[in-house]
Amino acid sequence: LVKGNLYYYFKNKQDILYHCHVKCIAISLAALDDVSAMGLAPADALRILLIKHIRNITEDPYGGVLLTDLESLTPTQRRRYVAMRDRFEHGVREMISGGIADGVFAPQNIDLAGITILGAINWIPKWYRTDGRMSSAEIANSIADQLIRSLRP
Amino acid sequence: LVKGNLYYYFKNKQDILYHCHVKCIAISLAALDDVSAMGLAPADALRILLIKHIRNITEDPYGGVLLTDLESLTPTQRRRYVAMRDRFEHGVREMISGGIADGVFAPQNIDLAGITILGAINWIPKWYRTDGRMSSAEIANSIADQLIRSLRP
């Protein structure tokens, strides 16, 4: 793919960035739907969702762009993207809430716990290198386990 | 302070940004030194350090700038800032390591656990609002507790 080809499909750099954002969050939303349909206990569902979300961010070539630079989108693009991201974050909070109801997670401020977990994951593109010592799957499993532990009593 | 005054003290916008970064990480480094001198068990020291670090980021008017936009610094500025940040991160890893040795934290990949904790904290300026429902102290305590739990067996 050369520069000329890319601009045949996209209006400009901003448009490309927007489509990267939407593509990446759409994959994580599909994972949310898949995992929700598995009929697992909420705490188990959340662990699998976090693994899929982390692997999406680390394995998708656009993943690094995902969660920063919202400032460079147009207001309409930002609104559309943020609506998708909100649906994902809502799904995460529902699973935390379900885990608390099950007694697997401690009673806690769900909004704060959710944004802390998602913030840790959002930071991954800042340090993740595809040529690092650990595979994306190893990193995803380890971080998901740590973040699930953070919710426990 | 008006724009004219500011540029009496600083060369340009980049220079201001650099001094904000250095000021903010210097406060967290001072907290690291203070907490290390308290003679606490490593897990307890880490909890207090995380609270101080989060409060620094949320209460300092430059805190929001802290951990993003390294790209806008000159190579020399970035190197100096990153050296300070590395010393802070090293201190966090030492406390995790001490907590593992004490059996309070689970044996785990210290680098990954450390960057997950610091990533969650680095993300705070993206969502924190000074006029939000919770005080900076409440947020700091709650997130520090959650992140300390994430290290436990």
| pLDDT tens by residue, B86-108 | 999 999 999 999 999 999 999 99
- Number of H helices and E strands in chain B, helices first, is 7, 0
Nearest beta carbon to residue A120 from set B108, B116, B152: B116
Q: Which residues in chain B are closer than 8 Å to A108, comparing Cβ atoms?
A: 142, 146
> How far apart, in whole angstroms, are the C-alpha atoms of residue B1 and residue A140?
47
Helix, strand, coil % in chain A, rounded to nearest 5: 70, 0, 30
Mutation site for B-interface testing, chosen from A66, A121, A146 by largest number of B Cβ within 10 Å: A146
The pLDDT of residue B68 is 55
Digit-coded pLDDT (tens) for B5-31 = 666 777 777 787 788 888 888 999 999
Q: Does B127 contact A at CB distance below 8 Å?
A: yes
Which tokens is B146 given?
A: 């959650």
* Cβ burial, residue A59 (10 Å; 0-12/13-18/19+): middle
Interchain CB contact of A152 with B (< 8 Å): yes
Low-confidence ranges of chain A (pLDDT < 50): 67
For residue A152, list chain B residues with Cβ-Cβ distance below 8 A.
Answer: 149, 152
pTM attached to this predicted model: 0.90
Count of residues in chain A: 153
d(CA B118, CA B26): 16
Partners of A139 on chain B (C-beta within 8 Å) are 112
Quick check: A120 and B123 CB within 8 A? yes
Q: Which residues of B touch A141 (CB under 8 A)?
A: none
Task: Summarize pLDDT for B109-148 with one digit per residue, the tens.
Answer: 999 999 999 999 999 988 998 888 999 999 999 999 999 9
ipTM higher than 0.95? no
Instruction: Dihedral sign for Cα A109, B55, A144, A25, please.
Output: positive
- Distance from the Cα of B135 to chain A's closest Cα (Å) equals 12
Q: Of the candidates A118, A143, A152, which has its C-beta nearest B116's C-beta?
A: A143
Q: Which chain B residues touch A143 with a CB distance below 8 Å? A: 112, 116
Q: Does A68 touch chain B (CB under 8 A)?
A: yes
Tell me, what's the pLDDT at A28? Answer: 94
Give B77's contacts (C-beta < 8 A, 6+ positions apart): B14, B18, B21
* Cα diameter, chain A: 56
DSSP B74: -
Buried/exposed code over B78-89 (b: 16+ C-beta within 10 A; e: otherwise): eebbeebbeebb
